[in-house]
Amino acid sequence: MNVPGNLLYTEEHEWVLIEGNVATVGITDFAQEQLDELVYVEVDTVGETLNRNEEFGTVEAVKTTSELFMPVAGKVIEFNSELDEGSGDNPTLVNEDPYGKGWIVKIELNDPEDREGLLDAAAYTELIS
């Protein structure tokens, strides 16, 4: 199972890369493996400011739909156009490259130092073991 050491994680299986006041968010390798092949990613919250743990979108796999939750508070500023049904329409990028081309949203952080409750790679690895 791939758990990059430079990322932070949530117990709901989202990953976060914080760079300055912007966070890139996706779902973990573990999550995409559990969901199996994704057929649709929906994010209707671009432009909205949301609190930590609020739902920002959903991922739909062949067998199930799962909600996506904000790992940090902030404004959703971008949805990965490669995943968007109206643009690239390639949700399987999340399966193929969850920590790279399969990122889901970018968030402008309310507080770049707000990392409360996020897990480092070791803690996330222990969670999924």
**Degrees, nearest 5: CA angle 83-117-80:** 10
Q: Whole-model pTM?
A: 0.95
Asked whether the beta carbons of 21 and 110 are under 8 A apart, the reply is no
What are the distances in angstroms from CA 51 to CA 21, 39, 56, 70, 76? 15, 27, 10, 7, 11
Give 46-92 pLDDT, tens digit per residue: 999 999 999 999 999 988 999 999 999 999 999 999 998 888 889 99
- One CATH from 3.40.630.30, 2.40.50.100, 3.20.20.70, 1.10.3470.10 for 8-128: 2.40.50.100
Q: What percent of the chain has pLDDT over 70?
A: 100
pLDDT at 85: 84
